[in-house]
Amino acid sequence: MWGGRFESAPDAIMEEINASIGFDQALFQQDIAASKAHVAMLAAGGVVTPADADAISAGLDQVLGEIEGGRFNFSRALEDIHMNVESRLAEIVGPAAGRLHTARSRNDQVAVDFRLWVRDAIDQLDRQLHAVQLALAETAEAHAGSVMPGFTHLQPAQPVTFGHHLLAYVEMLGRDRGRFRDARARMNECPLGAAALAGTSFPIDRDMTARALGFDRPTANSLDSVSDRDFALETLSTIAICATHLSRFAEEIVLWTGPFFGFLRLSDKFSTGSSIMPQKRNPDAAELVRGKTGRMIGALNGLLIVMKGLPLAYSKDMQEDKEGVFDAVHSLSLCLAAVTGMVRDMTPDVDAMRAAASSGYSTATDIADWLVRRLGMPFRQAHHVTGRVVALASARSVGLEQLTLDDLRTIEPAFEQDALEVLAVEQSVASRTSYGGTAPQNVKAQAEGWLARLRGEARG
């Protein structure tokens, strides 16, 4: 490839550290698509003859078929996917294959290949995120009124519903999808034609190649085109955020399937056993979702560190951009499939959730709210009075709902009989009717809204 300048072959260790074909062969479809768009543009501009362009395009189709059919021999000596494809193309069509690299460089070639790959990956991840949201929303609708404890600091806080809890993750994943869409829109510019770093003197039509490859426009600066990977960083950032959301849910599955909570059960399809303890049912799928989040966050950190000190334009350091992205995309895809499966598989124990919702004096805020509404008491004073009520229940080792009106009046004589009604967890959740609150009617409406939107996407 550069034999005219060099007099000897690279050292074996140089070949080892320099070759990227072991991982960038994943770009073969994108590389061939970009090459076909490029040669078609060269022919349209008279840079290559129509006959050569037709031969090159047909040869590229043959190479694609060989790779997809498992009949292609990837060579480390040829370093990367670009030279492997071009070398085989030369065997098929002869010297005309050498015209394909006119007006381009491996720098803009890999930039366009990688953008195309990441764009395809975002589309696939979006479809999987849609599936997780749909599973969560359907379960949320079915459990719009199933009471469970809400937590802060992992301590009982106020009662909520299971459906409300699940819809929180639907919202999070919806924002993740928005971040992916934003990243896709920003990266949808075509760097092909930037060449090595300065553009080219050939009369190329970069708008033509951009359109052919589904980009909105060509990139505007040739230096920027080949030297930045912010599109990969933005995608990795979104992957890391999304994985963190999945990890939080996975952690809850781990807690909730244990005997101390007992809120959920996973079937044998998403549980494993122990080699020594026959009784064990381990939520390994959830634990692995939680664990894989670390490697996805690590991929983002790794690429940030690679890019942080690079002067313009291209440096070989940037060959380290792909493996982390490939791994992160694969890991997130696997985690999304696992979470979708667990949501479809899990069986909530609504009785256990309801019993737990009454623990920890979780309706205390409802007493404070009653004091504000009925007696016009300032909330800070109501908070203090309610604290004394909780202290009384705690001293007697009973729940708030076991206190009598006489008990309440020892603390605040103005308490009335209807104050006892707010202590039921069902009444507590039913009262949270503010927009976004946990009242079952709210949750059902929110779930129905999400389902209409998600099912509409599937039809569209």
Give catalytic status of residue 274 as yes or no.
yes
E strand map for 153-224 = 155-161, 189-190, 217-218
Distance CA 53, CA 30 (A): 18
Please report, as a single letter, which amino acid is at residue 402.
Answer: Q
Q: How far apart are CA 290 and CA 301, in angstroms?
A: 18
Give CA–CA dist 31/90, Å, rounded.
Answer: 16
* 153 is an active site residue: yes
Q: CA 346: distance to chain centroid?
A: 22
Enter the pTM of the model: 0.93
With beta carbons less than 8 A apart as the criterion, state whether 1 and 83 touch: yes
Rounded Cα–Cα distance for residues 287 and 250 (Å): 7
166 Cβ neighbours under 8 A, 6+ residues apart: 136, 137, 139, 140, 143, 343
Task: Name the active-site residue from 267, 274, 315, 359.
Answer: 274
pLDDT of residue 7: 58
Give the pairing of strands 189-190 and 217-218.
Answer: parallel
DSSP assignment of 219-239:
-S-HHHHHH--HHHHHHHHHH
Distance CA 213, CA 283 (A): 43
Written as tens digits, the pLDDT of the chain (460 aa) is 545 555 566 767 766 777 788 989 999 999 999 999 999 999 999 999 999 999 999 999 999 999 999 999 999 989 899 999 999 999 999 999 999 999 999 999 999 999 999 999 999 999 999 999 999 999 999 999 999 999 999 999 999 999 999 999 999 999 999 999 999 999 999 999 999 999 999 999 999 999 999 999 999 999 999 999 999 999 999 999 999 999 999 999 999 999 999 999 999 999 888 888 888 889 999 999 999 999 999 999 999 999 999 999 999 999 999 999 999 999 999 999 999 999 999 999 999 999 999 888 999 999 999 999 999 999 999 999 999 999 999 999 998 989 999 999 999 999 999 999 999 999 999 999 999 999 999 999 999 999 999 999 988 7
Tell me what pLDDT residue 387 has. Answer: 96
Return the pLDDT at 437.
97
Looking at residue 6, its pLDDT comes to 54
Q: What's the confidence (pLDDT) of residue 88?
A: 97
Distances (CA, A) of 213 to 38, 208, 264, 424: 10, 9, 47, 61
Q: Which one-letter DSSP state was computed for residue 217?
A: E
Among 153, 201, 275, 397, the active-site one is: 153
Which residue in 46, 44, 42, 20 sits closest to 97, CA to CA? 42
For residue 3, what pLDDT is reported? 52
